A and B are shown apart, each in its own frame.
Chain A
């Protein structure tokens, strides 16, 4: 099976003042469609940086980034923006919902960029909210929802436009145990029953257990890998 995400000798460095700091020192990686990958590693090891590269939020200093059939490291800034809208669903640690919009309006935001009609958008939003179990909270604003509920709205927003790849940066980082488990079960269900490919950065070994594969990043290099065979 062909890989969905391929990183080839990817290097990324940042320039701070006069100093150039290399964060990723030539990462090689393949993620196959349908995999649920957990990316772990100490703080500052470059996990977010790597995730951003796969998601087309940032460009590598050198190396190739291929997602599906697209060489996204070759795309222009504006082409990359369009590409993200079509291919990537994002889930962040702090949910990053728009506080002024209701849950359903938040979920609708990615669909505003499509050619779907108003009623088609409604339909999709409804389905996504049902999938995360929040259909009854559609009219609530984020500050009227718990952290776990907000993250579920964020998940609905991430899947509403049916992206190729879901990227999550510490999705349970701001949640208590119970809520974290709920979110992880939801992601697992999306992976197992909907076949969503997920790459998730996490510090939490318990969260990583839900993944089918575990990668470790250390000082900008992939150090070891475990493949789990879960049902």
Chain B
């Protein structure tokens, strides 16, 4: 590409202006990459959710809870593969700033419902043997420096125990790998039987029954059946699929899709004018230089191409920088979304947009350069 030097020099004829324009494009594409990436991440997370899991909570309000006695009746529904449950325990370690996502559950059944969680079977057995046992995620163990065999105090402002104390002691009997799930997923499990017996009140109230199905196609049928079963009882239920639950939670954050598109649209629109203006100005300034090139034998098409490639170079390079920076930020989002990389479709779409930006902002000045009349331009007319 022997014309590269010519194009490159043209691009940097006003360094400050080129850098400013470039930075604007970099920032815009960084924003685009982040927002669209996160957006895609959400969509992907929803799609990756298991349709073969149901969540049963109290119809009135999740916090009202359901009796533990529902367990056997839900288990008996045809199509149900495994049932476990979560009773919210909460609590904190050492001081109330270190909140723990602690839940009382039947761990053995829980790992049957969530087959994505990786756990050593020996730990499950240890949990069953140890009434005061606790299983924690690798990450949580690392965070507080817990090891198997440690006995740790957990404070709670809700669950006073039968000795009248607000501090419970648990023995860490094992850890599990929760990396398939994002932040906020329960990561501290205690034995529900112990919880039910030792808590001064509550009688082992269950906040969510977690139902694993034989196959995803049964979801609608089984959830209807469960809700019908408890209709008109004192504890009516509401059964949801995992993705419905997730989407409901996400709605509270707002319509991410819409916000992402609106922001990116506005930014790109502004960018289009900025870049087009830079290119037009740059071509206006060198009317006589372009005329000289034509005088020396550069064809109209060649001159058009020089200007267009200059715009392409500017836009594509800066856009690539922006997307690259965005992709660097993504690993930092891992705790929120779980395993998560910059989606390829966003990179592809970004590249397409950079091309459109280059063409739309580069074509008018390139066309102007093409149409330039040598004799008039040389005479300064």
A interface list, Cβ under 8 A from B: 48, 52, 57-58, 77-78, 81-82, 84-86, 90, 92, 96, 98-101, 105, 109-110, 112-113, 118, 157
Contacts and interface: CB of A to CB of B under 8 A. Distances in A.
A167 B379 CA distance: 16
B266 interface: no
A77 B372 CA distance: 13
18 contacts: A57-B375, A78-B299, A78-B300, A81-B300, A84-B295, A85-B296, A86-B297, A96-B288, A98-B6, A98-B9, A99-B13, A99-B289, A101-B5, A101-B6, A112-B6, A113-B296, A113-B297, A113-B298
Given A78-B300, A96-B289, A113-B298, 10 more contacts: A78-B299, A81-B298, A85-B297, A86-B297, A90-B295, A90-B296, A92-B292, A98-B6, A100-B9, A101-B6
Contacts of B374: 57-58
Contacts of B289: 96, 98-99
Contacts of A100: 9-10, 12-13
A96 B293 CA distance: 10
A86 B6 CA distance: 20
Contacts of A52: 375
A101 B288 CA distance: 15
Nearest to B9: A100
Contacts of A98: 6, 9, 289, 292-293
Given A85-B296, A98-B289, A112-B3, A92 B9 contact: no
A82 B375 contact: no
Contacts, number: 63
Interface string B358-381: 000000000000000011001100
Nearest to A85: B297
A194 B22 CA distance: 49
Kindly list the 10 A-B residue pairs having the minimum CB-CB distance in the complex, ordered from nearest.
A85-B297, A100-B9, A96-B292, A100-B13, A84-B297, A110-B296, A81-B299, A58-B375, A113-B297, A112-B2
A109 B293 CA distance: 8
A193 B228 CA distance: 109
B9 A105 contact: yes
Interface string B259-302: 00000000000000000000000000000110011111111100
Interface string B286-329: 00110011111111100000000000000000000000000000
A77 B289 CA distance: 19
Interface residues of B, number: 23
Interface string B66-104: 000000000000000000000000000000000000000
A75 to B, nearest CB: 13
Contacts of B297: 81-82, 84-86, 110, 113
Nearest to A92: B378
A81 B297 CA distance: 5
B379 A81 contact: no
Contacts of B379: 48
Contacts of A77: 300
Contacts of A58: 374-375
Nearest to A89: B296
B5 A105 contact: yes
A78 B295 CA distance: 12
B5 to A, nearest CB: 6
Contacts of B10: 100
Contacts of B2: 112, 118
Contacts of A157: 296
Nearest to B373: A58
B14 to A, nearest CB: 10
